[in-house]
Chains A and B, each alone.
Chain A
Amino acid sequence: MRFMVLVPGSSESEAGGMPSTEILEAMTKYNEELVKAGVMLAGEGLRPTSQGAKVRFSGGDRTVIDGPFTEAKEIVAGYWIWECASRDEAIEWLKRAPFDGGVEIELRPIFEADDFGEQLTPGLREANERLRRQTAHN
């Protein structure tokens, strides 16, 4: 089973500041453990929302809203993708992460392509294929 672990932003991450050496070291050690257990498939940190944008959809209208966005709690600052045998195993791994200060880290199972069955239309499949082609060449 695959899981996405979503790490929320904070006022510090939004200000573009790097975490302290201490936190970085703890996080590096934790990431190493995840890799050495064969659990971590991917993981990245995201730049502050000031460098991002939102697009609002309303009927045929598309409105672009530039960052920063104010609700830091609702902002994702990073993510992991894990492969675990069960939700319980993923939770157990997450419990070991070096977070503190009341922060809540969310863990969500990822839909596997088979969960969609035959819902994908041939056109959609083709688009997916193009996308795959592009990413595979990067």
Chain B
Amino acid sequence: MSGSAGRQPTIRRVSPSATHRAIDAVWRIESTRLIAGLTRIVRDVAVAEDLAQDALVAALQQWPESGIPDQPGAWLMTTAKRRGIDALRQRVALERKRQLIGRELETLRQLNQPDLAAQVEDVQDDVLRLIFMTCHPVLSQQARVALTLRLLGDLSTPEIARAFLVSEGTVAQRIVRAKRTLAEARVPFEVPGRDQLAERLSAVLEVIYLVFNEGYAATAGEHWIRPALCRDALRLGRILAALMPREPEVHGLLALMELQASRLRARVGPHGEPVLLADQDRARWDHLLVQRGLVGLRRAEQLSRALGPYTLQAAIAACHARAHSVKETDWPRIVALYDGLAALTGSPVVELNRAVAVTMAFGLEAGLELVDSLADEPALRGYHLLPGVRGDLLVRRGRLVEAGEEFARAADLCDNDRERELLLSRAVACRV
């Protein structure tokens, strides 16, 4: 795991005493709820995060002496609000001459309310509101991901930078700009109403799945999988499923992630090389996650008649999870599920996956025909898995020379070091 020490905000600690480690743990548990609760009051995530950080600094100063309070969450909230009151009083005093103090006075009144953190239901709703805010469409997708990981995933800026292979400066800037955009657009701190919910929820799910996928099959870099990112996404998915238990696609996405994550440790070999589904030692799959995935899928299916895209993908993953081997997999069912998914999304990537399933269910010729029909698909231009899949089918057809060319082309297009090595080795194998 990425560990407790690396996850924390930029506070320098003299000695990592037991108290400091305990404060780290309290912070991990409380920070999101704290920031969410404060955002409701001050209506600005940047200010809320600052106040939360102030409270953390106060805890680091006081708790080693006083001990950790019985209700650390409430203590942090009270302290943060007190800081907020002090800061606002100063501003009100400064701006009294002008007429801009209406909103500040209202915030001041709110901060003086009795401790709202004690009302658990409210706080949970705040966390949900915060997710919808950090995944708001007014932000670019990169900004949504960075801000969500920062405020809800408890990841530090350097950790986010490492996760997406960009510089810390870039991430820091992205986050600052995102907060400013939210403030300028006056994005309300609320769960969207019925009319917008489906669309806005799909933006939230997209952010979580994007984080998961970057851990499950890194688009670039030297590692093929990054389990810590998968765990971060799973945690967000689990939180969301608990907060929106009636939403089928929330359970669908969580089930999909649990089922895919169940294969993580079988997905890499001893030297970090990718191990594809067909070659995985299925005994190494994580049974607990398989169980959770299957239960989650059932819940998603019960909640909705028409299965959404994540639930369909989870159902496909479940076909693999239930199978003892590639041969015993229910491929015709997978093809049928891909049919549904293709109809819903119209995505050429789905078509490509469907072609693989068709090969397994109905034979090489049918699969190759489908893959060939995708050759001129503009959306797949530059997508390494198109030649990758074609190469795979050609090998099985015995057309090794063409297959080798396809693998070489795929390797050229692939940005992930480990995956490229695998593709190159397959290209070489075709020449022998």
Contact = CB atoms under 8 A, between A and B. Distances in A.
Interface of A: 1, 29, 32-33, 35-38, 41-42, 81, 83, 85-86, 88-89, 91-93, 112-114, 118, 120, 125-126, 128-129, 131-133, 135-137
Interface in B289-328: 290-292, 294, 321-322, 324
- Interface majority SS (helix, strand, loop, mixed), chain B: helix
Contacts of A135: 287, 290-291
Given A129-B282, A137-B322, A89 B28 contact: yes
Contacts of A29: 120
A137 to B, nearest CB: 7
Report the interface size class on chain B: 35 or more
Contact of A136 (B235, B243, B294): B294
A100 to B, nearest CB: 14
A32 B123 CA distance: 13
Contacts, number: 89
A136 B288 CA distance: 9
Given A36-B127, A132-B290, 12 more contacts: A35-B238, A38-B238, A38-B239, A42-B292, A86-B28, A89-B28, A92-B22, A92-B25, A92-B29, A126-B283, A136-B287, A136-B294
B183 interface: no
23 contacts: A1-B1, A37-B29, A38-B235, A38-B239, A42-B288, A42-B292, A83-B231, A85-B3, A85-B7, A85-B28, A88-B4, A88-B21, A88-B22, A89-B4, A91-B25, A92-B22, A92-B26, A118-B270, A125-B284, A131-B287, A135-B290, A136-B322, A137-B322
Interface string B91-128: 00000000000000000000000000000100010010
A138 B299 CA distance: 15
| Closest 6 pairs between A and B when the two form their complex, measured CB to CB | A38-B238, A86-B4, A92-B25, A88-B25, A38-B235, A129-B283
A132 B22 contact: no
Given A85-B4, A89-B25, A36 B321 contact: no
Given A86-B25, A137-B322, A36 B286 contact: no
Contact of A89 (B29, B236, B282, B290): B29
Given A81-B288, A126-B283, A129-B324, A37 B239 contact: yes
A88 B1 CA distance: 13
B4 A113 contact: no
A89 B24 CA distance: 8
B29 A136 contact: no
Contacts of B25: 86, 88-89, 91-92
Nearest to B324: A133
B285 interface: yes
